[in-house]
């Protein structure tokens, strides 16, 4: 079975293939990467010789099809890698160091966004790199939410024995 791209735009790609004699249905499998041990997701079982993958085409997609009869695979197609159809222009902010607060079932989780040069890797518990600690002598910064009037405070972090600039 040879897969071909019939149509592609920003939001979908339609593939097709020639029918396989005595096949009752075709199972379509998809992944967003082709790496060793990748588990492909079964997207659909269809009687048609076409399938439309409704995903953005700014990245390649990996698709294969199995022709089946009575639950048995008669034939498996070769892997189709879709082309990148368009370049996604991401809007990224220039971020500085900052406090992150997320509401959870156990209360408010507070974390600190670090700068790129402060992160050197990762481990099982998160990022590695600069060790940050609370400064007992740094001034306290207060923030007030306009609508609720709720106040929070935090102290500046100290990095390598010197005061780090506060988040903006």
Tell me, what's the pLDDT at 92? 67
Alpha helix segments (H runs only) across the chain: none
Q: In which order are the strands placed within the sheet that holds 157-159?
A: 133-134, 157-159, 162-163
- pTM for the model: 0.56
Q: Cβ-count burial of 96 within 10 angstroms (0-12 exposed, 13-18 middle, 19+ buried)?
A: exposed
Tell me, what's the pLDDT at 123? 74
Specify the domain boundaries for CATH 2.60.40.10 within the chain. Answer: 4-81
Tokens describing residue 69 = 């009869």
Tell me, what's the pLDDT at 103? 80
Tokens describing residue 36 = 């060793």
Tell me, what's the pLDDT at 102? 78
Tell me, what's the pLDDT at 88? 78
**Residuewise pLDDT in 10s, the chain (168 residues):** 899 999 999 999 999 999 999 999 999 999 999 988 889 999 999 999 999 999 999 999 999 999 999 999 999 999 999 999 888 777 666 767 777 777 878 777 777 776 767 777 777 766 676 665 555 555 544 444 445 545 444 444 444 444 445 444
DSSP H/E element including 142: strand 140-144
Tell me, what's the pLDDT at 158? 45
**Which CATH code fits 4-81?**
2.60.40.10
Q: How far is CA 130 from CA 37, 122, 147, 168, in A?
A: 34, 12, 35, 20
Dihedral sign for Cα atoms in the order 140, 120, 89, 43: negative
């Amino acid at each position: 079975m040879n897969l071909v791209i019939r149509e592609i735009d920003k939001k979908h790609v339609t593939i097709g293939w020639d029918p396989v004699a005595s096949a009752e249905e075709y199972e379509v499998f998809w992944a967003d990467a082709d790496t060793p041990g990748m588990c492909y997701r079964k997207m659909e079982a269809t009687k048609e010789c076409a399938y439309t993958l409704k995903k953005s085409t700014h990245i390649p997609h990996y698709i294969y099809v199995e022709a089946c009869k009575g639950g048995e695979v008669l034939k498996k197609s070769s892997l189709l890698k879709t082309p990148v159809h368009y370049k996604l222009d991401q809007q990224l902010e220039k971020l500085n160091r900052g406090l992150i607060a997320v509401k959870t079932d156990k209360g408010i989780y507070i974390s600190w966004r670090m700068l790129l040069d402060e992160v050197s890797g990762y481990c099982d518990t998160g990022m590695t790199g600069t060790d940050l600690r609370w400064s007992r002598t740094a001034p306290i910064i207060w923030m007030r939410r306009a609508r609720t009037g709720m106040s929070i405070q935090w102290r500046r972090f100290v990095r390598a024995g010197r005061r780090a600039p506060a988040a903006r």
